[in-house]
Every structure is written in structure tokens, then in C-alpha cells.
Structure 1
Amino acid sequence: MKIVVIGGYGEMGKITVIDLVETCKNCEIIVAGRDKRKAESFAKSFKKKNVKGVQIDVNNHKQLLSILKNSDVVINSTQYYMNLKVMKAALDANVNYVDLGGLFHMTKKQLKLHKRFKRKNLIAILGCGATPGITNIMAAYGARFLDKIDSIHVQFADEDYTNYNMPFVVPYSMYTIFDEFMKKPAVFQNGRIKFVEPLSGMEEIKFPSPVDKAACFYTLHSEVATFPVAFKDKGIKNCSFKGGFDFDFVNKVKFLIDAGLASEKPIKFRDAEIVPRDFTVKILNQLIPSEKIKVNDIEFLRVELTGYSKNTKKRIVVYCKAVTNKKWNLSAGSWDTGVPPSIAAQMIINGQINQAGVLPPEMCINPEIFFKELAKRNMKVYSVFR
């Protein structure tokens, strides 16, 4: 079996590759990225014949096809702006597809390829990281206990004890973070999608210890694009996503935005034209924590469902607890994002996902199988019924 991970040496892609190397013993794993040296170096670091590195340019359709040819699954760990390009290459190469999400608007565009993937008996799983991803499958699990669904609300929060001794630490793609903080979040209210102000809707959400309580606010996310369709038959009327980011981190990101350093409008600097956002991301990505720093954190994903079971009002809260991966010194938030694409890809090649088309995780992944795989990787899913 052959799995290609595009962006395979990136912050999330490398975690997917690590998990594939550790758990998919009979797989040929291709680490693909723009920088041939980085791709080959990361692949060689495993000292395994089944792991190879290759150069790839997602803007080069012919090259994409040549790399994807005869593969079983492509995992797209690039910036979400590239999702359609990789998807269309997967379609032309007759390869199944998994990605980390499309931040609502891109997800909507990707869903339009459903019939084309279905005709070829291929599956494209959209948004299979932590959130979206694990949270979608948590929602599907909770929905089983309700005859009618009124609302599904998703949140996350963490507790980080790591002493980074740095002014700023990038938790995941800064491009995505800027979009989450700047674009109007979509909220599904009373059966309709509406867009609200960025960082609005602040409320204190109860989480298990040691987080206990976290201030969460709306950000743009893909769950709101797919839940209204996935749970339409159960009458869902409301859904939202809120992030529980650290206040210091929020203030620093807001400062960068307010100062114009996240702007996408080109400006002239000396004899060159630069995009402030590109420059800022480049600088921030150089703030790499030393490998000597031992990461120590916990992250909780939270999905709250309300509705009715046998005409009795019910409230179900599903949690996923992720902790630091000490072997690889990876944060909980990185580990629970990078692992799910590996699990999904392996479920596809093992025949554990039988649907075809373009689908979100809640519509195609068996929760019990998926949660069992998470547990093997020290991520625990549990529910509270009220």
C-alpha cells in the first residue's frame, strides 16, 4: 500500500508521517514537499526502506499526477488554499484523498466535487485533524443517542506547562490562525447560516481538570459547513465552533493584525514589493523552540449536543483528552491534529470506510474503530450524559 503525504516534513505533516511509520508497517510512505532536501532528509531520518522523500510543486498538475500515480491515498497537509489543486490531482490520478480542513469556505467548494469522486468510487475525507476531524466523529457518536438534535457546539482549550522562554510560539499554520482571527465566523442559528464578528461570542466554558474553565470565542471553522447537512435528518437547528486560546497568545496575534502585519495587501519596501502577511509568517516560523525544551501540555476537545431521546430532553458532552507525546516531544495540540489523517488513510486502505464521494468525517468514519485507534495513541474519548 502506498500513501503520499504532501507537506510531509511540515509541522503537521511530519506528525502524520511519524504515525504512519510507527503503525502502517506494510505501507510505502512518500514524504512530498517543495524542498527536495528537506523531504529526503526527513524521510532518511527514519532509516527505513519504505519511507522516501520527493520534491513536489502542488501548482504543477503534471508533476502531482506523476507522484500520485499508483498510490492508494494522498494526505494533503499543505495550506488549505491548495486543497482544490491537490483534490483535482487525486481525482485524475484515481487516488483517495484526506486533508486537515478547508476553513468553511474552501470546504464548501470542495464538497462540490462529490459526484466526480463518487463516479470513480473514490473517497475524499475533508477536515480530518483534531478540529475539524476528531470533533466531527465525536459529534457523530453523540448523535447516535438522540432522536432529534437541537444543537451541536464545538470548543477546544488546553493547559500548557511548557517553559518555552520565547516571545512567541507558533502552534500551527500562522496563515490559518490569521484567517481564523480575521475572517467572519460562520454560525448556524435557527436553521440558517449567519456570519458574526471575529472573536465575538466570548463565554466561559467548563472543561475537565486541569483546564477547568476557558474563555472561548467564535472563529471560522469547517464543522459549521458540514454539520447542518450531516445531521439534517435529525433536525439540527444550531451549531457553532469556539476556540479557547491562551489570552497572551490572543493579544499578540491581535497586535500583529492591528499593526497591519497580517495584511494581504502588497506594499513597496525599498526596491521590492512584499505582502506583510507573508513576511510576518516567514519571521514567526523561524522562532523554532529548541529540541532541548521538553513540551508538557494537555488539550481537550469538547462537543456538546442537545436534543431529544424518546421525547425526553437530553444533553450529551463528548470529550477527547490529548497529552504530550513524550517519545517525539510533540505537543498535545500537534499530536491530536497530525495523527487523525494517518488513521483515516489506514482505515481506507484496510476497507474500513466503504463510502465514496466527498464527505466530512462524521458521515463516513466509524466512531468505535476510530476512537480505539486514538486510544492506542494515548488519546481518550469519553462522554457525559445529562
Structure 2
Amino acid sequence: MRVVVLGAGLMGKEVVRDLVKQDEVKKVYLADRAIRQAEDFAEELMSEKLDILLLDANNEVQLSDVIALGHIVVNALFYTFNERVAKCAVERGVHVVDLGGHIGGATEKVLALNEQAAAKGVTLIPDLGVAPGMINILAGYGASKLDEANEIKLYVGGVPVKPKPPLDYNVVFSLEGLFDHYTDPSRVMRNGNITELPSLSEVEALEFDGYGAMEAFHTSGGTSTMLESFPYVETLEYKTIRYPGHAEKAKLLADLGLLNRESSIYVDGKPLRVRDVMMAHLTPQLRLGDKSDAVLLRALVSGKKDGAAKTVTFNLITEKDQTTNETAMARATANTISVVAQMIGNGVITKRGAYPPEQIVPGELYIEEMKKRGVVIEES
């Protein structure tokens, strides 16, 4: 198979690193306008399978021509490009997987292409990160092991291995995205009804081996498409994992309006967005740098099997790879989207159309493939 990877940022590069190791993958194209960054990575990787392409994703003709080089596209661009990439791919008869984006309905717009994709013999799967992504796959797999599922509780957190006050947190993806997750409402299923709860609310305690006591609280975006995929459950919710005390501190910042995307202040007569000031101030302090991070995950799917109550539980603790310097978040995210792309390319996934991960990705095989890559998901 030939795979086009759009975006030479951290996730795009780590996807390429996995793809070139696979025998079934014969050619990989890494496309970005940051051509020097991509070429430096190619020099480091030294794989004959990899070609670097200059791409301005705003140029639809150029984007379409690059997409047409592959059997499947891994879209690691910013989420605002997701719909455009999907439409170009459907036109050219190429499969697409992306990292998701529920702001502005990006994922919903990709899923709306279901009929066009099916008619073209194309598979589109958005939301293939960790949350959403990995947790969607595990929720779907857990539900498939029960005769009847009635409760799905999902917990994920990217955290530093050695936390430092005051926030005990380091940035493992976009700080602006983090602020969105902390300020937008969280969609959940309660008593069989979809409802919204404030983010940073309903803090609960949980424990992980080696990390001890942690806390989890509602944040936006994590339930993604699952509320529509599992309309029959009584309870479905997603919470973010952090070190104890983080939610209270983050809520103070939110309550003061310091994370608001709309508020502006004037300094010397010039407008400044309050959130931009916060990002500029906090980014240097919260940058992960050479420190180690971890991804903690727990998914509980409860219901009935053969007339008896049963809960299927998935647990993950994965840390930064010290040999490759690949962060835990990159390992979990990039390997997820790479594995699913290969499932389409090698014929494991044969359904055509646009589907969320929980409806189409085979969970057992996914867990096996992630284990081969050092991301071990334990089931009980």
C-alpha cells in the first residue's frame, strides 16, 4: 500500500516512523509546507520508502494531486482542514483517517460524506487520536462483548511522570485545545438522555499503579460520536485524568475569565485576547521539553452477559520512549491512527462510507497491534 501523510508536525512524523517499518507499506509520502522540517526528519529516518513533498493545504488543486498519490491518507493537519481533505479524497477515490476535531463540527462534516464515500468505494474514519479515538475503539469493543451495555465510563489523561507545582501539568498537545476542553460544556448521557455538564465539574478520585491517587473531571469533546453510537445506554461520560488539585486550580482560572476565547483587554490602546496572553505566559512554563510524560487510560463498559451483570475494563499506562524520545501521547495517538490506516489498506476493514471508530475498528486486533508497538492495553 501507498500512504500519504499530511502534516510534518509531531504526530505526522511519528505516524511515518511506524509506517516505514511495515512490510505491507511500500511507499510513504510526507507532505507539508514546512519542507525543511520534513527533510530533516527524513534524513534522520533514512528510509528508502519515504518521499517528502511540498504542500500548501490551502491550495485545493495541489492538495488533491498529493492525495491522489496514495491508497490511503493519514491527515495530521489542523482539524480545520479535515472536511476539505475528506472531500478531495472522496473525489480521488482515496481512503482517509484523521485525528478529529469537534470544534465547529469538523468530525460531523466528515461523517456527513458517508453516502458519497460509499459510492466511491472509500472509507473515512475521523477522530483517531486517544480521546476521542482509542477510547471509542475500546468502548465499541467492550460493548460487543456484552449482550446488553447500559453504562460506559471513560477516563484519559496525559500527565507528567514527575509533576511540578502549581499546576502539576505539562502541555502534551495544543494549549488552546486544552483551554477549549476546560471551558466548553461536556456532553454526557445521564438516565438515557443527552445532557450538558460544566467542564471541570464532578471531580472523582481514582488510582493507577505507580501513580497512586489521581483525580478525574468532565471536559468537553471526549464523548465525541459515542452518544449517537450508543443511544440505548443509561450512562455515558468522559473525564480527564490529572494529579489531585488540578481541577480546582484550572477552575479558578476559568472562573476569572482568563481562559475565555472571546474576552479582550486593551494595553496601550491595542486589543489583546485574554486567552492569547495566558497562552504566551504559560506555554514556556508548561512545555514538556525533555521531561517524561505518561498517558493513563481506564474504560469501563458495564451491562449484562448471559443474564448476569458484567463489566469489561480496559487499563493503559504508557510512558515516554526514552530510546526514541517519542512522548507517551505521541506513541498512543500516532500508533492508533497508523494502525487503523493499515487496517483499511490491508483489507481488514472493508466497510465503505464514513464511520466513527467505535462502529468500524476491530477492537481485539487493534489491541494486539498496539501491543506490538509497546502500547499495552490490559483487559479484564
TM-score range, shorter chain: 0.7 to 0.9
Alpha carbons 1:31, 1:54 under 8 Å: kept:
yes
Q: 1:321: which partner in 2?
A: 317
Q: Structure 1 residues 88, 19: closer, same or farther in 2, change over 3 A?
A: same
Report the CA distance between 1:53 and its aligned residue.
Answer: 2.4
Q: 2:363: which partner in 1?
A: 367
> How far, CA to CA, are the matches of 2:229 and 2:111 in structure 1?
12
Q: Structure 1 residues 193, 109: closer, same or farther in 2, change over 3 A?
A: farther
Alpha carbons 1:299, 1:333 under 8 Å: kept:
yes
Alpha carbons 2:132, 2:224 under 8 Å: kept:
no
Q: 1:109: which partner in 2?
A: 109
Report the CA distance between 1:219 and its aligned residue.
Answer: 0.9
Q: Structure 1 residues 130, 261: closer, same or farther in 2, change over 3 A?
A: closer
> How far, CA to CA, are the matches of 1:53 and 1:254 in structure 2?
43
Aligned residues: 376
Match of 2:350, SS state, is coil
Q: 1:125: which partner in 2?
A: 125
Matched, 1:238 2:228: no
Q: Structure 1 residues 383, 274: closer, same or farther in 2, change over 3 A?
A: same
Greater mean alpha carbon deviation, residues 181-190 or residues 269-278:
269-278
Question: How far does the alpha carbon of each residue in 1:357-378 deviate from its partner, in whole angstroms, 9 at most, with x for none?
Answer: 1111121111222111111111
- Structure 1 stretches lacking a partner, 5+ long: none
> How far, CA to CA, are the matches of 2:214 and 2:85 in structure 1?
36
Alpha carbons 1:323, 1:378 under 8 Å: kept:
no
Q: 2:219: which partner in 1?
A: 219
Match of 2:367, SS state, is helix
Greater mean alpha carbon deviation, residues 153-162 or residues 92-101:
153-162
- Structure 2 stretches lacking a partner, 5+ long: none
The amino acid across from 1:241 in the alignment is: Y
Q: Structure 1 residues 43, 259: closer, same or farther in 2, change over 3 A?
A: farther
Question: How far does the alpha carbon of each residue in 1:134-183 deviate from its partner, in whole angstroms, 9 at most, with x for none?
Answer: 21221122112311111111102466334889997321122321211111
Alpha carbons 1:103, 1:220 under 8 Å: kept:
no
Q: 2:199: which partner in 1?
A: 198
Matched, 1:15 2:14: yes
Q: Structure 1 residues 164, 199: closer, same or farther in 2, change over 3 A?
A: closer
Percent of aligned pairs with the same residue?
28
Report the CA distance between 1:323 and its aligned residue.
Answer: 2.8
Alpha carbons 1:157, 1:214 under 8 Å: kept:
no
Greater mean alpha carbon deviation, residues 187-196 or residues 266-275:
266-275
Q: Structure 1 residues 180, 24: closer, same or farther in 2, change over 3 A?
A: farther
The amino acid across from 2:178 in the alignment is: I
> How far, CA to CA, are the matches of 1:256 and 1:58 in structure 2?
35
Alpha carbons 1:44, 1:51 under 8 Å: kept:
no
Question: How far does the alpha carbon of each residue in 1:245-292 deviate from its partner, in whole angstroms, 9 at most, with x for none?
Answer: 2357657755765464652466666697665545655676667555xx
The amino acid across from 2:333 in the alignment is: T
Alpha carbons 2:241, 2:296 under 8 Å: kept:
no
Alpha carbons 1:158, 1:211 under 8 Å: kept:
no
Q: 1:188: which partner in 2?
A: 189
Q: 2:172: which partner in 1?
A: 171
Question: How far does the alpha carbon of each residue in 1:278-312 deviate from its partner, in whole angstroms, 9 at most, with x for none?
Answer: 5655676667555xx362x4432111111112222
